């Protein structure tokens, strides 16, 4: 897939996901607002019902007490026709309606039929009282004004006295429950500037969701406000909105899958580029020995070479060397393929790393000296025994020394250090080569990756060495660290646990 196609695909999918996320966010916001509006409506309706019940109860009490006051007058004790059918004392008629009504209002489990009954009976009572008032006025004459003055000169009862004995918390809870609200609440009644009744934790629990409703008593002369707060309102609303959580999870999974797919596509493109580079390098590495062998064979066939033992031996040596070189390169590729497809067992034993490195220094010294360079060994580790596969651990340091020689554009100067740190041994390979850019240091341990040098193939290899090094070091419970800068050389540190420390070694490697 071309880079342009990847960009177009990423943009299209990205826009689709952004649109989906915006729609989900708007839907979530709308659902939240709707739930909040439903909550507000239910709370206000509950407050209206409670306040209406309190006011109704107070009105009925006023009617009952007013009737008792009128009974103190001579006319008030007389029987009157107030309903057009029966002549009964007013007090008896009032008691027939007011007392049952008060009992119903005090009952928390009242139903709609009972409420309707109250409204009808109260309406009839008011009509009867209006008739009675007219009868009393006609019979008292001028004394009627004195009776009224006596009634209105009585002291006005406070709101606290009017609601005394009411179980407001129970009334509120019942009305809220009937309207679908189960949240915890706190309440208070305020008259003027003072709170006259409040729940236990009204001032201790704060909330932005405060509701209030005014109450009127005694012909609007006495006023108070009923306050209601919900400290856990937001959590309750959010919990109901969280029913949308599955759709949010699905959206999140889609976003993660999108990111994963784009990452895989980009990685595959990088691997494709690395693969192409590997093929170019492999072609170059195979082409040179094949061309040399082909040329030598053609020269012998055409008789271009003197038929002397020395000449034939020389040509045969060239063919043999190039064949070995070709075989070595093929084996490296096959070995890496083996690491990828199957497994390999480590043959573990106690290995002295100072001894291993000393042998390698002797082996590589000739190559370094052939380039006019120097190879130094500083084997300062007092404890150098590790549990390892001696063949593979030797190949690790051989690869590092080989790279230090190959990737050097000037006279090579290579130093190898060993030292102890705690229960570990640190082996450092330091060179003055071309160095590695910071952005490429995380990639050098990937298979087939080679530091970019353009289209030049003057450095032999497939980019398999450091990948192999890291796998072996990891398998021995160690780690590898690299410090490098362009044109300033590189430093590779191999840290391995000593035999005195519990070493986590994989006896079977899966590559």
Alpha carbon distance 71, 143 (integer Å): 15
Phi and psi (nearest 5°) for 72? -75, -15
Contact (CB, 8 A) for 453 and 280: no
Class for domain 344-510, per CATH?
A: alpha beta
Residue ranges per structural domain of the chain? 242-341, 344-510
pLDDT score for 391 = 83
* Three-class SS state of 61: helix
pLDDT score for 420 = 94
Contact (CB, 8 A) for 379 and 339: no
| CA 358 and chain centroid, separation | 53
Contact (CB, 8 A) for 128 and 83: yes
Tens-digit pLDDT profile for the chain (511 aa)? 677 777 888 888 888 888 888 888 888 788 778 888 888 888 888 888 888 887 777 766 666 665 555 555 544 454 444 444 444 454 454 455 445 544 544 554 444 444 444 445 455 555 555 555 565 556 555 555 554 455 445 556 677 777 776 778 888 888 888 888 877 888 888 877 778 788 877 776 666 667 878 777 655 455 788 888 887 766 666 666 666 777 778 888 888 888 888 888 888 877 777 677 767 767 767 777 788 888 888 877 777 767 778 878 888 888 887 787 777 677 666 555 555 545 567 788 899 999 999 988 988 887 888 888 999 999 999 999 999 988 889 888 988 998 898 888 889 999 999 999 999 999 999 999 988 888 888 778 876 666 655 443 444 444 457 888 888 898 888 999 999 988 889 999 999 999 865 555 554 444 4
Contact (CB, 8 A) for 386 and 350: yes
* DSSP calls for 146-199: HHHHHHHTSPPPPHHHHSTT--HHHHHHHHHHHTT-----EEEEEETTEEEEE-
Strand blocks (E) in 87-127: 87-89
Q: What is the pTM of this model?
A: 0.42
Pairing label, strands 210-217, 222-229: antiparallel
**Domains 242-341 and 344-510 belong to one CATH topology:** no
pLDDT score for 3 = 73
CATH topology of domain 242-341: Helix Hairpins (1.10.287)
Strand blocks (E) in 11-99: 79-81, 87-89
Locus of tokens 């229960």: 423
Contact (CB, 8 A) for 219 and 231: no
């Amino acid at each position: 897939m071309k880079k342009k196609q990847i960009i177009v695909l990423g943009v299209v999918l990205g826009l689709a996901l952004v649109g989906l996320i915006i729609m989900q966010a708007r839907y979530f916001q709308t659902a939240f607002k709707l739930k909040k509006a439903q909550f507000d409506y239910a709370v206000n309706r509950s407050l209206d019902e409670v306040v209406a019940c309190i006011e109704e109860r107070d009105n009925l009490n006023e009617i009952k007490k007013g009737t008792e006051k009128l009974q103190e007058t001579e006319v008030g004790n007389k029987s009157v026709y107030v309903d057009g059918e029966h002549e009964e004392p007013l007090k008896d008629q009032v008691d027939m309606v007011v007392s049952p009504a008060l009992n119903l209002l005090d009952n928390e489990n009242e139903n709609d039929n009972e409420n309707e009954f109250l409204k009808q009976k109260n309406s009839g009572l008011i009509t009867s009282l209006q008739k009675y008032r007219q009868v009393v006025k006609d019979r008292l004459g001028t004394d009627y004004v004195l009776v009224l003055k006596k009634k209105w000169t009585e002291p006005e009862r406070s709101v606290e006295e009017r609601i005394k004995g009411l179980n407001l918390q129970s009334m509120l809870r019942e009305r809220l429950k009937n309207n679908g609200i189960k949240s915890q609440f706190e309440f208070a009644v305020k008259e003027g500037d003072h709170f006259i009744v409040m729940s236990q934790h009204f001032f201790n629990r704060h909330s932005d969701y405060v509701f209030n409703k005014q109450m009127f008593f005694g012909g609007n002369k006495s006023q108070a406000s009923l306050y209601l707060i919900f400290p856990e309102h937001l959590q309750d609303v959010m919990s109901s909105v969280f029913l949308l959580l599955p759709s949010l999870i699905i959206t999140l999974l889609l976003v993660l899958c999108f990111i994963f797919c784009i990452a895989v596509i980009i990685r595959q493109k990088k691997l494709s580029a690395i693969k192409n580079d590997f093929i170019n390098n492999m072609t170059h590495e195979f082409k040179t020995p094949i061309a040399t062998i082909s040329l030598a064979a053609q020269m012998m066939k055409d008789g271009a070479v003197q038929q002397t033992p020395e000449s034939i031996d020389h040509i045969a040596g060239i063919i043999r060397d190039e064949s070995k070189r070709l075989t070595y390169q093929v084996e490296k590729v096959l070995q890496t393929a083996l690491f990828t497809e199957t497994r390999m067992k480590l043959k573990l034993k106690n290995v002295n790393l100072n001894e291993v490195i000393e042998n390698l220094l002797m082996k590589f010294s000739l190559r370094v000296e052939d380039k006019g360079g120097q190879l130094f060994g500083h084997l300062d580790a007092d404890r150098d025994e590790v549990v390892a596969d001696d063949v593979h651990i030797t190949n690790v340091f051989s690869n590092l020394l080989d790279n230090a020689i190959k990737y050097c554009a000037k006279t090579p100067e290579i130093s190898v250090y060993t030292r102890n740190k705690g229960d570990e041994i640190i082996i450092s390979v330091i060179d003055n080569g071309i160095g590695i850019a910071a952005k490429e240091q995380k990639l050098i341990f990937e298979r087939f990756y080679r530091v970019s040098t353009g289209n030049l193939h003057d450095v032999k290899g497939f980019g398999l060495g450091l990948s192999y090094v890291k796998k072996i070091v990891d398998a021995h419970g160690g780690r590898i660290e690299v410090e490098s800068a362009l044109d300033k050389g590189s430093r590779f540190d191999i840290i391995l646990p000593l035999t005195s420390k519990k070493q986590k070694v994989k006896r079977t490697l899966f590559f």
